[in-house]
Each structure stands twice: as C-alpha cells, then as structure tokens.
Amino acid sequence: DTLRNSKTGFIPTTIPTVFKQLREKGILTGIASGRGIFGVVPEIRDLKPDFFVTLNGAYIEDKKGQVIYQHQIEKSDVEEYISWAKQEGIEYGLVGSHDAKLSTRTDMMSEAINPIYPDLDVDPDFHEKEDIYQMWTFEDKGDDLHLPDSLSDKLRMVRWHQHSSDIVPISGSKATGVEKVVEYLGLKPEKVMVFGDGLNDLELFDYAGISVAMGISHDKIKEKADYITKTLEEDGIFDALEVFGMVEKELHFPQVDIETVEGPLATTKTNHGDLRIKLFPEHAPKTVANFVSLSKDGYYDGVIF
C-alpha cells in the first residue's frame, strides 16, 4: 500500500511520474520487499527502479538483473527446519531466488499465500535442487509457535499472516538489504530516503537519513517517521517528494492541442457568427460548472459580447 493498493491493484498516475522525474535528476530508486522478485507484479517492474531488494534483504538485483548481494540459508539448517516442521505437524514453504514451492497444498495454505504467489507448485524437496533464501510456516499456532533452540540463533520467525510466518536469517531484513545497496554505491545512510507503512519497515526507518510514513501506516511507523504523508490514493509519494523539493507538478496546457482534448463545447451565437469554446472542467471545475449552469438558465441570453 505504498506504491500499489494490495487489494485492488490501483497505482496512482503520479507514481510513474515520480520515478521518471527522479531518474532525470540522477536520483537512484529501489524497491524493498519481503517478496521474491518473482512475486513483484508487472506494473511495479515497469517502473524500472535501479534496485530490487527482495526476500527481506536476502537477494538483491540491479535493473540489469545483476546480483548485488545474496544470503542463502545453509542447507543443513533448511533440512533441520523441515525435520522440525514435520515433528510439529505443520506444513512449510521453501523460497529460492526466482521461485518457491510448497510442501503440500491445503485450503489454509492457499488462503495465506495465493494473494501474493497464486500459482505455486508442490515440491517438498525443492531445497535439494535450489538454494533457499527464506522459508514459511503454515499453521494455526500463531505466536505460540517458536523455532527450536538449535535454529533460533541462526534464523528468526516473522509473523506476516494469521496462518503463516517468514523464516529468515537472523540478521535478514529490508534494512540489511538497503544497507548492502548503499555500501555497494559508496554512499552513507543519511543520503537515503525511505517510504513505508508496516511494522517490517521499522528497522528501515531507523537506518535511513529521512523516513516517510504513508497516511495509512501503523502507529509505531508514524512515531518514527520524519514526515507523515498522505495515503497512496491521495498521491502520498508525490506529496512527500514535492515537500522535500525532489519532484515538481507537471503542468498541462490542453489548449495547445485542442483538437485531441475531450470536454464540453459551448457555442456563443453572435450577429457576426458563432464562437465555439472548449471548456476544461478538470483544470477549472468550479468555473466551468458555474458557466454551464448559468448558460442553461439563460443568464447570458441577449448579453452584448
């Protein structure tokens, strides 16, 4: 709900404008997500950011697909996790850099994972073929579920759904991933501005020089933010960047290409012929509404032009 409404898929028209203007100013952009890059929707990919920080910082690519950083989970730890999951009677998922698999398929698993990754296959032995960067639990145990001591010093559990948790390296986070990008670029944290709305952005807000909370953000995120912007639907990203002087509103002059602009047409009849006047309600809504209303009421009839 920062760049795209997760339920409706809505992306404000100002979002592509933001990426375009930042690119023109030489400002680098990145998208940091708990998802794998294969779960980033095409509309977000089309924004062409300079970096994708995925899988809670465990796998990072630049815009050319070059791997900047990767942190796999040790195969022995993956195998121990699978053994523990089976002992606990819970199902699991295994996440690679560009694909993920499920141990089986149940209604509970589908309800949790389908909104993010709708078509995952079943392959409980996926770890034998691919490196694993992240894992999932699927259960109804909630906060009562804890990793065994033998794994808890290497991995941590992050609850993201009532029936599922991410299992990630203990040092893994979006903030860690962004830090790797900043080191790669030879920059410092104070040169970084981040946007976020959820609890998994807290570490990111601690790390960056400037942090911006979306209008819909969790209260703890708002407390840490340097600036609280509007909601996604209210063009919150653009609003904040405009406040910080990093983007400018694009001006549109429809009258310079009048034949292609749709809009109401007014005809003023005079003794020297007709004047056809195109109106622009999107640019002057109150003026146009007032003029149309008065015209229909006959207010201008017989007026000397």
Q: What is the pLDDT of residues 209-263, one digit of tens each?
A: 999 999 999 999 999 999 999 999 999 999 999 999 999 987 677 888 888 888 8
State yes or no: pLDDT of 34 exceeds 90.
no
pLDDT of residue 91: 97
Q: 48 phi and psi, to 5 degrees?
A: 55, 55
Q: Is 112 helix (H, G, I), strand (E, B) or coil?
A: helix
**pTM of structure:** 0.77
Q: What is the pLDDT of residues 154-165, one digit of tens each?
A: 999 988 899 999
In tens, the pLDDT along 84-124 reads 999 999 999 999 999 999 999 999 999 999 988 988 999 99
| pLDDT digit string, tens, across residues 44-77 | 999 999 999 999 999 999 999 999 999 999 999 9
* Band of residue 6 on the pLDDT scale cut at 50, 70, 90: confident
pLDDT for 40 beyond 80: yes
Q: How confident is the model at residue 1 (pLDDT cuts 50, 70, 90)?
A: confident
Percentage, residues of the chain above pLDDT 90: 82
Residue 200: pLDDT band (50, 70, 90) is: confident
Label the pairing between strands 91-95 and 134-138: antiparallel
CATH tag, 14-69+173-243: 3.40.50.1000
> What are the residue ranges of helices labelled H in the chain?
14-24, 42-45, 75-88, 107-113, 149-152, 174-185, 202-207, 219-224, 236-243, 285-296
pLDDT of residue 203: 92
CA distance 29 to 23: 8
**Residue 106: how many CB atoms within 10 A of its CB?**
13
Tokens 């499920």 correspond to 102
Mean pLDDT of the chain: 93
Backbone angles phi, psi at 25, to 5 degrees: -90, 0
The answer to whether 82 touches 93, Cβ cutoff 8 Å, is no
Q: Where are the domains of the chain?
A: 14-69+173-243, 75-169, 254-296
Question: What CATH number belongs to 75-169?
Answer: 3.30.1240.10
Q: Buried b / exposed e across 226-259, counting CB within 10 Å, b at 16+?
A: eebbebbeebbbbbbbbeeeebeeeeeeeeeeee
Same fold, 14-69+173-243 and 75-169: no
